[in-house]
Amino acid sequence: MVQLLRAGDSVAGPLGRPLEHLKALQFWKMHMEDRQGMLDALHLIKNSPNLQKLIIVIEPSRVDVVENLVGQDFSACCLKKLEQVELHFMSGIGSEVELIKLVLANAPGLKKMKIIPSENLLSHARGLEILKKLIQFPRASPKAEIKYSDSKSSRMRYKENKGYL
């Protein structure tokens, strides 16, 4: 979707006006190592002041580019109405963790963050280490709940629906 919006150019500049009617947004097969794609996705989120639900399905990556998210400021904008976030196929790389940290710190209305790890992360003790780190992050919402779904049923349901949640 970001590629379609970008159409060969960056959407990192102003979109003209805020996307005020956008309440739910799903990024399909997001490449966390694609710096411009990440910046474009973040800009789209920033320009969606009434966004309530955000779903990100991650494309597995071997490259970790944390600096894609470092320095992004969401404090004065858009995440005020965000209530629900789902992050599918998290592998535990730094850019994914930074994205979670950024959302938790800047979404005062957040009620639920659901994290569905990749099968690779499930098979390692590292998943528990990452979860311990996530629950320590500061939260703008005192009601924010982090749900770490380690069951295969979530992934199976996702595959059966051909990627539609």
CATH classification of the domain holding 30: 3.80.10
* Residue 152 pLDDT exceeds 70: no
Do residues 52 and 78 lie in contact, with contact meaning Cβ atoms separated by under 8 Å?
no
Domain assignment present for 140 = yes
Which 3 state secondary structure label does DSSP give 27? strand
Q: How far apart are CA 26 and CA 158, in angstroms?
A: 13
Q: In the numeric block, which tokens belong to residue 24?
A: 């739910």
Strand 53-58 with 24-30, pairing? parallel
Q: Please, are residues 104 and 113 in contact by the beta-carbon 8 Å criterion?
A: yes
pLDDT at 58: 85
Burial bucket for residue 117 (CB in 10 Å: 0-12, 13-18, 19+): buried
| Residue 11, domain member (yes or no) | no
84-117 pLDDT per residue, tens: 999 998 888 888 888 888 899 999 999 999 999 8
pTM for the full predicted model: 0.76
Residue 7 lies in a domain: no
- Is there a domain that residue 14 lies in? no
Instruction: Determine the Cα–Cα distance for residues 25 and 50; give it in Å rounded to an integer.
Output: 11
Mean pLDDT of 46-50: 90
Domain of 31 in residue numbering reads as 20-160
79 inside domain:
yes
Assess contact for 145 and 110: CB atoms under 8 A: no
Report pLDDT for 3.
47
Pick from 30-34, 84-88, 143-147: least confident: 30-34
Identify whether 108 is part of a domain.
Answer: yes
Note whether residue 149 is domain-resident.
Answer: yes
| Residue 73 lies inside a defined structural domain of this protein | yes
Q: How many domains does the chain have?
A: 1
